[in-house]
Structure 1
Amino acid sequence: MQYRFFFVLLTLAYPLFAQQPTARQITRHINNLASDKMKGRGTGSPENAKAARYIVRHFKKYGLTPLGTNGYYQPFTAKVRRVVVPDSLRKAANVIGFLDNEAPYTIVIGAHYDHLGMGRQGSSLDSLPQGKIHNGADDNASGVAGLLELAQYFAQNSVKEPYNFLFMAFGAEELGLQGSRYFLNNPTLPLEKMNFMICMDMIGRYNPDRGVGIGGYGTSNTWPAVFNGLSSTIKFFTDRAGNGGSDNAAFYAKQIPVLFFHTGGHPDYHRPTDDPGKIDASAEEAILRLEINLIENAMQHPKMNFTAVK
């Protein structure tokens, strides 16, 4: 009888526990997005569109409401500026899902899903990049995996949070933050309703001597209170600046407080050697649990003000 009672309790508790990010799920997402079959997810490629469909499939699974201009998609035209190629204008899209908690303000969580493709769109650091698959496992399949794990957690944790969530996978980041800038100039949710933005770009190569960097600490005077007493199983450090690194810079330019999570540069950055086998999924799991703690702390505070970092 005691065993049966324990089993019932365990069964009831398991769904909540199961929504926590796990290294296994992170690895699965990264292996899918950064395999050789995906050919580097270059903007405008069939593989980039396939990556977008992968994200849409999971947004649907998690029950997020479409908030693009065409279902979950917000299509736009991206331009390759850094090299001269025949297809310098390319079809691109942001992928946008909304978790409506009937709250007045919304937390934005984002990561870009494009990479350098076959090395023909510029930005590769390989000496002869053309025709080589740039898998972009860390940059930024790791961030998309984080986006999907956080979307699952907040959508399926059986808690009606005091803020809504906008989950966004940005296109054409590698071509100059084009997806996030397009969204901010054509928002599908009023910018004044956004509380803050969390950006994940390259969170898969944790170095315990360095720790995970969190930029944007100076973009609101509420952040120190949010970080106060923050529990973490992983080393981290903060930086005040909010206008560099990734798509967070576009939100900072619109005077929206930001945080930017990253595990730093490495020799495989923007090279064909940025492969899934080099990702530390267990450390990324710890980083995402840190982000959950931080977001839950932030939700105990009123809407944040923006402060410019000098």
Structure 2
Amino acid sequence: MNNYFLLLFLLTASVANAQISEKKLKKHIHYLAADHMKGRQTGSKEAETAATYIETHFKKYGLRPMGTDGFRQQFEAKVKRVVVKDSIRSSANIIGFLDNDAPYTIVVGAHYDHIGYGDLGNSKDSLNIGKIHNGADDNASGVAGLLELAKYYAKNGVKERFNLLFIAFGAEELGLLGSKYFVEHPVMPLNTIHWMLNMDMIGRYNPDNGVAVIGYGTSTGFPEIFKGITAGIKFYTSRDGSGGSDQTSFYRKQVPVLFFHTGGHPDYHKTGDDPAKINFNALKSILELEIRVIDRSMTVPKMAFTPTN
């Protein structure tokens, strides 16, 4: 009997530890978007530090390495907007797999790079080019969400009906280069992917607008999945599957996608995109909504792709 209660206690503690943590979200974003990370520009040592941070957490959660070199899928990224000496830069996708012995897999992704000092032609802050663009919302918020979802599914004590593949993409700000590389060099057949969830800029929730869930029209399965789903935050769906972030690369390969996004704001690609402006309580609610969507998607058959544009 004592062993039974011990096992119950350990199981309860494990499930509690798996829950989405506002404290952990703050920790991840404050680390990734700190001044010492210098904006995580592709090819910088700070982008490498961010990649290592993600890799360390994937290991901690017990995910299986699914890159070509451990968790890493290395690729070369080209700077196109401006002429620089180091126009070819090294980058990597960080890939961890939760194997549930299932035939199909759900991909969860977010990009970890940002624009550094804004000197590669992608700053919206012309008066502050040369100063650090921290990218707390874009996209430390998405990476924090990626890590918390990886923790949740790895530690919740449930063997799910689908596998989950967690990917932190590199070089998104140079033209979705990490996700483009992945779909051209997939670590599993693309036709075994149930659907792909992308998080990019999910930290600046505006209650007047709500959270955009883009890609609702990319499979006839999504209306069934969303039926009756409620959340602690306002959200709305949009049909289109392409545009603006890494889900586009999967959409173009005929994979159903959803892209969670809290919308543009005056600090987009500017020096004011700092951790102090993140709505952590709403971010937690967004991730809890995503868990409901993922869980519901595991109750439907392999989803067929529907083009939207």
Q: Secondary structure at the match of 1:37?
A: helix
Report the counterpart of residue 214 of structure 2 in structure 1.
215
Give, in angstroms, the shift of residue 231 of structure 1.
2.3
Q: Secondary structure at the match of 1:168?
A: strand
Q: Secondary structure at the match of 1:41?
A: coil
Tell me if structure 1 keeps the 8 A contact 2:14–2:157: no
Report the counterpart of residue 186 of structure 1 in structure 2.
185
Report the counterpart of residue 92 of structure 2 in structure 1.
93
Letter in 1 for 2:236: F
Report the counterpart of residue 177 of structure 1 in structure 2.
176
Unaligned runs of at least 5 residues, structure 2: none
Tell me if structure 2 keeps the 8 A contact 1:220–1:306: yes
Give the distance between the partners of 2:8 and 2:72, measured in 1 at CA.
40
Tell me if structure 2 keeps the 8 A contact 1:22–1:282: no
CA displacement, residues 54-100 of structure 1 (integer Å, 9 cap, x when unaligned): 00000000000000001000011100001111111111000000000
Which deviates more, 244-253 or 13-22?
A: 13-22
- Alignment RMSD: 1.5
Report the counterpart of residue 18 of structure 1 in structure 2.
17
Tell me if structure 1 keeps the 8 A contact 2:25–2:144: yes
Give, in angstroms, the shift of residue 8 of structure 1.
9.2
Q: Secondary structure at the match of 1:267?
A: coil
Give, in angstroms, the shift of residue 122 of structure 1.
1.8
Is 2:157 the counterpart of 1:158?
yes
Is 2:56 the counterpart of 1:57?
yes
Aligned in 2, Cα 1:8/1:249: closer, same or farther, shift over 3 Å? Answer: closer
Give, in angstroms, the shift of residue 14 of structure 1.
3.1
Give the distance between the partners of 1:260 and 1:151, measured in 2 at CA.
17
Give the distance between the partners of 2:132 and 2:142, measured in 1 at CA.
19
Letter in 1 for 2:30: N
Give the distance between the partners of 1:6 and 1:163, measured in 2 at CA.
30
Q: Secondary structure at the match of 2:213?
A: strand
Match runs of 1:76-155 below 5 Å: 76-155=75-154
Aligned residues: 306
Which deviates more, 58-67 or 229-238?
A: 229-238
Give, in angstroms, the shift of residue 119 of structure 1.
1.4
Give, in angstroms, the shift of residue 233 of structure 1.
1.1
Report the counterpart of residue 282 of structure 2 in structure 1.
283
Give, in angstroms, the shift of residue 11 of structure 1.
6.2
TM-score, structure 1 as length reference? 0.96
Tell me if structure 1 keeps the 8 A contact 2:218–2:307: yes
Which deviates more, 285-294 or 11-20?
A: 11-20
Match runs of 1:22-37 below 5 Å: 22-37=21-36
Detail structure 1 runs of 4+ shifted over 3 Å in the superposition.
Answer: 5-12
Q: Secondary structure at the match of 1:154?
A: helix
Give the distance between the partners of 1:12 and 1:169, measured in 2 at CA.
29
Identity fraction in percent:
60
Q: Secondary structure at the match of 1:69?
A: coil
Q: Secondary structure at the match of 2:218?
A: coil
Tell me if structure 2 keeps the 8 A contact 1:120–1:129: no
Letter in 2 for 1:197: M
TM-score, structure 2 as length reference? 0.96
Aligned in 2, Cα 1:227/1:133: closer, same or farther, shift over 3 Å? Answer: same
Match runs of 1:211-250 below 5 Å: 211-250=210-249
Unaligned runs of at least 5 residues, structure 1: none
Letter in 2 for 1:104: P
Give, in angstroms, the shift of residue 127 of structure 1.
1.2
Q: Secondary structure at the match of 1:213?
A: strand
Give the distance between the partners of 2:262 and 2:11, measured in 1 at CA.
36
Aligned in 2, Cα 1:187/1:11: closer, same or farther, shift over 3 Å? Answer: closer
Tell me if structure 2 keeps the 8 A contact 1:150–1:288: yes
Give the distance between the partners of 1:243 and 1:268, measured in 2 at CA.
23
Give, in angstroms, the shift of residue 18 of structure 1.
2.3
Q: Secondary structure at the match of 2:38?
A: helix
Report the counterpart of residue 272 of structure 2 in structure 1.
273
